[in-house]
Amino acid sequence: MEADPRGVLTGVHFIDGDHACCEGALAAGARFAAGYPITPSTEVVERFASRIPTIGGTFIQMEDELASSIAILGAVWGGAKAFTVTSGPGFSLMMEHIGYAAMTETPCVFVNVQRGGPSTGLPTLPAQADMMQARWGSHGDYEIIALCPNSPQECFDLMIEAFNFSEQYRTPVMFMMDEVVGHMTEKVVIPAPDRIRLYPRRHTRKAPGELNLYEPEEDLVPAMAHAGEGYRFHVTGLTHDERGYPAMNARAQDRLIGRLQEKIRRAAESLALFEEEAVEEADVVVISYGITSRVAQRAIDMARESGLRVGKFRLKTVWPFPDAHIRRLAAGARALVVPELNRGQIVREVERAAAGAARVVGVPHAGGSVHRPERILEAIREAAA
């Protein structure tokens, strides 16, 4: 389906990533947001608060992130598309509801504009250190989808993808920005509404009385209904059967958890958004994501100038991790260099996927600023040697 024109600010804008993220959500049809102020993410909901009354929808500033992360889930079951926005400490408080959303298959988007941590850390400075938390932060086994934009334009574009994935797979999607991307101002082009493709809510076509709320369709994703439509369904965070009723035994657990993981694992290839350049003939491929990819670009250019054959692979989808692509890169290159604004998170995934086929060199950074390109260049040189 096409985007609802009321939410689409078609035109050319100069805005920062936080504002672009909000516009992406509005263009994607989000009409409900709940949030609790936290730097450097607040601008997203501030913009939403000012925009939504003339579009039709609701912003509510909740009493904390526990509340905002479940208010959005209530709104989804009430029929809205919804998201919440936070940073480090707030993201930590939201973990239980990421699990609840995964378990109840509630489509929604969690935006995390990453700052330095742990704890209060560096409220106004960047990091990419919540990448594993985005993957594993809630208890229990589940798969998750996480996207990582590297520019204000991508904050807009990928936010639409984030909503589309969440609707298609009925799962929470983590939108992993960082302070620099959130606060950098660049040109953002917002297309006409009829150029924006949206994945519609997977609403059941069955009549009340015929619906088993958690009976999967062919792609393992069930169709849903909304409260107030006469279905009288039940939703629970307990392990449940296809009717949605609690079923607390190992068989039901295996069936449900297996399906929740498999519906995403099976789609890994179509979920894998990335950008690559000159990887075929490369000796070294730099694998990066988010803001670090832009610093890496400078290092790659410098390395090429000095005659090294360097490829670039940028993850837009970080979860599910694009194993197959990393295997392909590892088969062709001598080494993979992984700079990131943490002390080593995604580099381990690269190591796992590469499985020894290429050398993997991390370029850790504790956050607070971006890398110096020279630091990445050094790693490229070492890896190429």
Partner 1 sequence: MSEVLTPVNPVEPFLRAERMPHIWCPGCGIGTTVNSFARALIESKVDLDRVAIVSGIGCTGRVAGYLKLDSFHTTHGRAIPFATGLKLANPALQVVVYSGDGDLFAIGGNHLIHAARRNIDLKVICVNNLIYAMTGGQTAPTTPGAAITTTAPYGVYEPAFNLPALAEAAGASYVARWTTFHVRQMARSMQEVFAKKGFCFIEVLSPCPTLYQRRNKMGDGLDAMKFYKEHSRTRNGAPTGEVGLTRDGEIVVGKFVDRDRPEFRDLMRDRFTHQLGDRYVDDAEMAEHPHCGGEDGA
> With contact defined as beta carbons under 8 Å apart, do 220 and 266 qualify?
yes
Cβ neighbour number for residue 209 with a 10 Å cutoff: 8
Q: Residue 104, SS3? A: helix
80 is an interface residue for partner 1 by CB under 8 A: yes
Rule CB under 8 A: choose which of 187, 234, 348, 372 binds partner 1.
234
Which residue in 9, 235, 257, 302 binds partner 1 (CB under 8 A)? 235
* Residue (81 or 365) nearer to partner 1, CB: 81
Q: Cβ of residue 221: shortest distance to partner 1, in angstroms? A: 10
Taking the CB of residue 270, how many other CB atoms lie within 10 A of it?
Answer: 10
Q: Which of residues 7-26 bind partner 1 (CB under 8 A)?
A: 7
Contacting partner 1 within 343-372 (CB under 8 A): none
- Cβ partners under 8 Å of residue 187, min gap 6: 12, 13, 14, 152, 153
CB 363 within 8 A of CB 371: yes
Q: Are 69 and 76 in contact (CB under 8 A)?
A: no
**Quick one: which segment of 129-137, 227-235, 327-335, 342-350 binds partner 1 (CB under 8 A)?**
227-235
Which range of residues in 178-186, 236-244, 329-337, 366-374 is near partner 1 by CB under 8 A?
236-244
Kindly tell me which residue out of 11, 37, 56, 140 binds partner 1, with binding defined by CB under 8 A. 56
Q: Given the rule CB under 8 A, which of 220-228, 302-310, 318-326, 351-359 is the region that contacts partner 1?
A: 220-228
Task: CB nearer to partner 1: give 57 or 339.
Answer: 57
Of 338, 333, 334, the closest CA to residue 351 belongs to: 338
185, 189, 192, 227: which one contacts partner 1 (CB under 8 A)? 227
What is the SS3 assignment for 156? helix
68 binds partner 1 per the rule CB under 8 A: yes
Binding to partner 1 by residue 258, rule CB under 8 A? no
Q: Please report whether residue 76 would count as binding partner 1 according to CB under 8 A.
A: yes
Side-chain-facing half-sphere of 41: CA atoms under 13 Å: 26
Does 170 engage in binding with partner 1 (CB under 8 A)?
A: no
Give me the phi and psi of 197, to 5 degrees please: -95, 130
Backbone phi and psi for residue 104, each to the nearest 5 degrees, phi listed first: -95, 0
Q: Alpha-carbon distance 81 to 164, whole Å?
A: 11
Interface residues toward partner 1, by CB under 8 A: 1, 4, 6-7, 29, 31-32, 34, 53-58, 60, 62-64, 66-68, 70-82, 96-97, 100, 167-168, 198-203, 205, 226-238, 243, 245-246
